[in-house]
Chain A
Amino acid sequence: MSIRQQVLFLYLASSALDAPVVAWSEYDGAGEGPTPPVVAHPSAPYATGVDALRDGWRLIQASALNPPTPGHERDLSYLKHEFIFEKLVG
């Protein structure tokens, strides 16, 4: 069996990795079922990003903190603090 990747997206309340989780998504490269997952977590899988680390998830990307576009400083758009984690499973 080849190594396959499970990916967890956590959206946090600030740029701090120990901030609360406000939104989340998961994609299971080791699974067989439909996506998005049929049984989504009814509540956040972890309270914070650090809690995911402590459960064995490896952080592979964190959102950069980019300055706002002049003239659009107050615009709100996509979730700002996205942290992407992975687990490798055999």
Chain B
Amino acid sequence: MASSNASWALDKSNLLTTEEMAQFVARGFVEFEAVVPEEINRAAIAEFELTGIADMVRPKPKSGAPLSDIYPDPSPIGQMLRLDRVQGIIHSLVGLDAVYDHDWVHVREAGDIVDQYLHQDAIIDVTRSFDIQLFWFPHDVVPGGGGTGFVPGSHLRSVNQADIARYQNFSGQADFSGPAGSIVVFHQGMWHRGRANHSDTRRWMYKIRLNPQSPQVRRWNLEDYDAVKGEQSDHIFGTYDPRAVSAKFRTPEPWFEFAASRLETVNRARLWRYVTGDETYDSDWYLTRTASREALDGGAR
């Protein structure tokens, strides 16, 4: 197991809460402002300026390398990855036994006024288990300053990479902006793009993809779990606990089509089943009612 610094495990405050985990499941991202200290941010930018904006010569780990083995000291990337808070976030989502997939330093030059096409990384995905992509912004990013654009709630749509390039704008779309040292962690399926940089400073961003090696089940801080897990019987047209995580799963993004929003609720519930290990979990009875009918006739058509 991975960490050379095991002290984080004793401090649950470094892990995600159930509320944060439910947001990740529902919307596909979690965001943390200024979690990386300024000296590490400055060291990273200094290194990136030496290795160049194309990021072709920077020494990189081999894909499949254990997270605990990559970027040994001295390395600002390694220092960032080994921060207690960052280790807690990673562990909550993919476990510290995750392996390195790849990483890249992304640049949006000052005055680059053209948006990248919207895309999803890698290839079309078919599993409930998921990778994470951690985006680290080592300097302040002002609104319009090239912060990564993304479409909250798009992560569970089954699309293939740049096939979504036709889509330019969504109701509810988001662009990152925030202070130096901020981190945004995306589900692998998030639709995103490099945004135009209308500022007068180059925008640096470091992205790393991590692959889980063991089931991603209940790794977060479960202290609030019982209070917000809700009941299988919670139903928006019946009785339900408004504090339960199902409230997040039935909340549509502004761009969800009317009918699709219910299927999004189902897909979120299926992902919640995976991360909780509770295959009876449901939001608004959708999965339960169809499963009980399938049990009657073996799912025959």
Which A residues are within 8 Å of any B CB, using their own CB?
9, 11-14, 19, 21-26, 34, 36-38, 40-41, 43-44, 70, 74-81
Contact = CB atoms under 8 A, between A and B. Distances in A.
A21 B171 contact: yes
Nearest to B164: A78
B260 interface: yes
A79 B257 contact: yes
Q: Kindly state the interface size class of chain B when it binds its partner.
A: 20 to 34
Interface string B107-131: 0000001110100000000000000
Given A34-B113, A76-B264, A14 B167 contact: no
B258 interface: yes
Given A23-B255, A76-B260, A44 B171 contact: yes
Contacts of A70: 301
Give the interface SS of chain B, mostly helix, strand, loop or mixed: loop
Nearest to A82: B166
Contact of B169 (A14, A24, A38, A80): A24
A23 B171 contact: yes
B21 to A, nearest CB: 21
A76 B158 contact: yes
B156 interface: yes
A25 B166 contact: yes
B267 A14 contact: no
17 contacts: A13-B256, A19-B258, A22-B170, A22-B256, A23-B168, A24-B168, A25-B167, A25-B168, A34-B114, A38-B114, A41-B169, A44-B171, A70-B301, A74-B263, A76-B157, A77-B158, A78-B157
Given A11-B167, A76-B156, A77-B159, A22 B254 contact: yes
B158 A75 contact: yes
Interface of B: 113-115, 117, 156-159, 163-164, 166-171, 196, 254-260, 263-264, 266-267, 301
B158 A22 contact: no
B267 A76 contact: yes
A26 B168 contact: yes
User: For A11, A22, A37, A40, which residue has the most chain B Cβ atoms within 10 angstroms?
Assistant: A22
B288 to A, nearest CB: 14
Contacts of A38: 113-114, 196
A13 B164 CA distance: 18
Given A9-B166, A21-B171, A25-B169, A81 B266 contact: no
Contacts of A19: 258
B260 A23 contact: no
Given A23-B255, A34-B113, 4 more contacts: A23-B170, A25-B166, A43-B171, A76-B263
A74 B301 CA distance: 15
**What 8 A-B pairs come out closest when comparing CB atoms?**
A25-B168, A22-B255, A23-B170, A77-B158, A38-B113, A13-B258, A76-B157, A34-B114
A78 B257 contact: no
A48 to B, nearest CB: 13
